[in-house]
Structure 1
């Protein structure tokens, strides 16, 4: 397969290196990733200035690589439209430093890059790995990405599907398996800490704790139980369950 790899942690991140190293064994891989970290940028794109693209040589990889001084969605757009000639079979975003569970998918640059591919009718995966106490290890996540990619290929994944994959930080023999499930809910107790800047301006820094709502058959609960979670996503946010009721209002 011909794969476009991207992320939101930047082209120098350990996660995208591990992913490319694993996938280039069997596939043609082209990397188009941000030049620096762009975490939690959602689905933003750059409109007010030109994008700067540089070709990179990543030591230890044979894959062609480009850095873009833009967002993950920018990387996918310019990769598809300008940098890569010919068909792209799938876009894979990650491996993200930290999981993307529940409603966090709305903030995630990793997931948004995969959704951008879906808009172009290219199937996609977003791969995220749990991080604890600054322990970063991506080899197992890369192996799961390879396995899930093969399953998607064998089952002819549709062009309008994004698979959101989260891998817990456990030993391989401790992972209970793979669960296909819906996204759950994550609620943040946000607080803004006020301070004064160098030029006497008022600054606010967001802090807070997160609380997972462990709904039945959701990614937040299965992930906590030690499963790799896989959730099919789509960019159509229409609430079909009340569509006809809202029509009646008018």
Structure 2
């Protein structure tokens, strides 16, 4: 029976994690190793300036007072009784599309698994703020993709970033393999003042502006499709490298 490790960035008690763990339970033995509290947008940070504490909440469920990447690293090396066959991270209650992939703790948990040579999948539900999250729909889609990964594997040094539209299953058109899109936020930094008149800045919110390029994760989800983007660990721009190597000094 495959061993599947589940993590996330929203915390061990997040409803998306519970839905994901339930869905993966039909594919194999599930062990949850997740942050004790919300660690959204921490990217791939590791906790290196203090010790990490682990609490076992129930059989096969562990809470770590650290980041998603911490959870995967400690889970694989110290908590699990054998190496997992698959790492699945999510379900994030919000899309991880375009440039948001770089900030996402959800994606980084899967990236850490990939760095350790374990097939890994990040799962996000493209729900807007205040919108009811249809986690069961995303969990069912994640189960389909996870089953395929367990059967066929993934390309070397590659994770899958799965984004599911927040729609009833009957309204999802299908799925597409996509490339990463682009986005920027307008007015994403809010200026505030405390009671003593000191100025502070708050990062978050703003209005997202998405690239309208074709065949991207952004376009697919907006059109009602499940998006699967293969993310590679090697971030080298190989086309630029070929050009630049022609200028190498002898």
Q: TM-score, normalised by structure 1?
A: 0.93
1:66 aligns with 2:62: yes
The corresponding residue for 1:147 is: 144
Q: Which range moves more in the overlay, 4-13 or 19-28?
A: 19-28
The corresponding residue for 2:108 is: 112
Displacement of 1:156 in angstroms is: 2.8
The answer for unaligned runs of 5 or more in structure 2 is none
Question: Which of 221, 224, 233 is the aligned partner of 1:223?
Answer: 221
Displacement of 1:25 in angstroms is: 2.5
In 2, distance between residues paired with 1:11 and 1:95? 11
In 2, distance between residues paired with 1:76 and 1:110? 11
The corresponding residue for 1:210 is: 208
Contact kept? 2:68, 2:108, Cα under 8 Å: yes
In 1, distance between residues paired with 2:64 and 2:16? 17
Displacement of 1:196 in angstroms is: 2.4
Contact kept? 2:86, 2:150, Cα under 8 Å: no
Cα deviation code 1:31-74 (max 9, x no counterpart): 000001111110111000000110012xxxxx611000110000
The corresponding residue for 2:165 is: 168
Contact kept? 2:114, 2:120, Cα under 8 Å: yes
The corresponding residue for 1:157 is: 154
The corresponding residue for 1:60 is: none
Contact kept? 2:176, 2:220, Cα under 8 Å: yes
Q: Specify the SS of the correspondent of 1:152.
A: helix
Q: Specify the SS of the correspondent of 1:136.
A: coil
The corresponding residue for 2:93 is: 97
In 1, distance between residues paired with 2:189 and 2:163? 29
Cα deviation code 1:102-155 (max 9, x no counterpart): 111001000011001111011100000122333122111111111111122222
Q: Specify the SS of the correspondent of 2:23.
A: helix
Describe the shift of the 1:65–1:241 C-alpha distance in structure 2 as closer, same or farther (beyond 3 A). Answer: same
Displacement of 1:208 in angstroms is: 1.7
Question: For this pair of structures, how many residues does the alignment match?
Answer: 245
Q: TM-score, normalised by structure 2?
A: 0.93
The answer for unaligned runs of 5 or more in structure 1 is 58-62
In 2, distance between residues paired with 1:249 and 1:202? 48
